Structure 1
Amino acid sequence: MTRLGDLERAVMDVLWDSVPGTSGGSTVREVADALDGRELAYTTVMTVLDRLAGKGMVQREREGRAWRYRAAASREAHIARLMLDALDLGGSRDAALVRFARSVTGTEAEVLRAALGKQAAASASGGETLTDRVEAPTADRSGRAPVADEAADR
């Protein structure tokens, strides 16, 4: 399970909040500047980004002498992966899912019903299902493939 520390989460929030498709990612300096209220050394931010790249959380691309970093998966895909990993902690997955379903609000339940309805319809018609659409990052340490990004459905 890829849990993020406080600083890693802040760095990922900067990358996740950048407008997708309008840039090729962010440099270390741009990320450091975006971390408002934190007095961090450039090398600290560079180390965090390097570690996130090692964890598969960010992708980087060389631009001259610098690197450009971007999130390897959306925030939603990361959260979904954490939820699935939590289900693997033991006990009954079914019981955990039922308990979760009972704890969501009415609006959240409607979102889940709609997503499950789309999933069932796509499966029945032989079309692409939510689990068929997988983002680019590689499998995590457990060897499990990444989670589909449901944000595209909205």
Structure 2
Amino acid sequence: MSSGPTVLPGPSGRCWSGSTTAGRSRWRTTPVQTVMEILHRKEWLARAKSGRAFNYRATKSREEYGASLIDQVWATGADRTATLVRLFDELEPGERAELRAALAERAGGERA
């Protein structure tokens, strides 16, 4: 067996860091706990006490996180239209069709 570090998903989505020695796991949760605490302080993770441990969950969906990155770009004064056109140009044809349909639905059935 490998004696290097491993990161495994634990119960309730928690991750545990450990190393294996002679087939036995020796868990070292401190590095993971430190990262989770930092992400919690930055409000990227929410946590709830579960016995002696915490269960963590993301505070934003991937879509919300992606949109917040675009907001950060626009906060720098970037041209919104040029940015959107560039993103649109990089979409696959099927993704473009999905975006057009979503925009049309949002506009109340009007062509976007």
Q: Name the TM-score, length of structure 1 as normaliser.
A: 0.51
Unpaired runs of 5+ residues, structure 2, are: 1-6, 18-26
**Aligned match of 1:100:** 87
Matches within 5 A, 1:64-143: 64-121=51-108
SS in 2 for 1:62: strand
Moved over 6 A (4+): none
- From the CA coordinates, give the structure whose radius of gyration is larger: 2
CA distance in 2, matches of 1:74, 1:100: 20
Instruction: Give 1:70's aligned amino acid.
Output: R
Aligned counterparts of 1:85 and 1:108: Cα–Cα separation in 2: 23
- Whole-angstrom distance in 1 between the partners of 2:49 and 2:85: 46
Identity %: 34
Q: Which residue of structure 1 aligns with residue 45 of structure 2? A: 58
1:7-36, Cα deviation, whole Å (9 max, x unpaired): xxxx9xx7xxxxxxxx8x43xxx4126xxx
Structure with the higher strand share, 1 or 2: 2
Which residue identity lines up with residue 31 of structure 1 in the other structure? C
Consecutive unaligned residues of structure 1, counting only runs of 5 or more, are 1-10, 15-22, 34-39, 125-154
- How far did 1:83 drift? 2.4
TM-score, normalised to structure 2, is 0.68
**Paired residues, number:** 94
Give, in whole Å, the separation in 1 of the partners of 2:79 and 2:89. 16
Q: What is the SS of the residue equivalent to 2:77?
A: coil
